Amino acid sequence: MSVNKKQVWRESQMNIMIANESRLLGEGVSMMIKASFANADIVLADSAKDIIRTINGPSTNSWHVILIDSQLSKLIKPKRLHHLMPGAKVCLFNAKKSRTTPDEYLRAGFNGVLADSTSPNDLKKAMGTLLSGRDFFPEEASHSRRGFFRSPQRDNKKTVITHREQEILSLMALGLSNKEIARHLDVAEATVKRHISNAFKKLGAKNRVEATQMANEKGLLH
């Protein structure tokens, strides 16, 4: 007996995460989605740390769609989200217009794009497409400078960061403290501080925020 996938998602609860730095915008989009999909269970996250905390929480075992804005997608790469949320469709949300092609979006780990000019009707269409297990790439999402998702690589050779320093910088970008990083990596907190100090010197950074921003610009975050 064949199963209509679209019928299944219409009848069962669909778990959706909206990861956006603007809580107000996230709540507005959540209301529009719920107006069209009564079975949608939507969780809002406004920081990278909030995303990780929600994924690791006990309430939801299976995610269907995550809408993530460009800023948060730089801190938690879409390919990592696929690893943390198997089977979920990862869609770039509130995106600026770009000449990036669907193939380039897919290689970056995105299953879809919603531009910042997306209308309520297009949002409904996009969510229906993503919830049915298909990718969504509107034609109008392809008009700006090429390479929107490509991390700058040309300066990487000038900044020699060790694998451990990269790991720690990536965890710092998620908002973890030195103590939390040490526990996660099973090392002493003093070791974490030493690696952070070395990374700061190599990057020329003055604080944690500056270090993670500079590392992200150089494509050094996992």
C-alpha distances out from residue 62 to 65, 73, 161, 222, Å = 10, 20, 35, 23
Secondary structure in 3-state letters for 106-173: HHHCCCEEEECCCCHHHHHHHHHHHHCCCCECCHHHCCCCCCCCCCCCCCHHHCCCCHHHHHHHHHHH
Map residue 82 onto helix, strand or coil. helix
Q: What confidence category does residue 31 fall into, taking pLDDT thresholds of 50, 70 and 90?
A: very high
Look over the chain and give the mean of its residue pLDDT values, rounded to a whole number.
Answer: 81
pLDDT at 217 over 90: no
pLDDT tens digits along 143-202: 433 444 343 444 444 568 898 998 899 888 888 899 999 998 899 999 999 999 999 999
* Bridge pairing between strands 65-69 and 112-115: unpaired
Domains and their CATH numbers in the chain: 5-141 (3.40.50.2300), 156-217 (1.10.10.10)
Q: What confidence category does residue 219 fall into, taking pLDDT thresholds of 50, 70 and 90?
A: confident
pLDDT at 126 over 70: yes
Query: pTM of the full predicted structure?
Result: 0.60
- Residue-level pLDDT at 139: 61
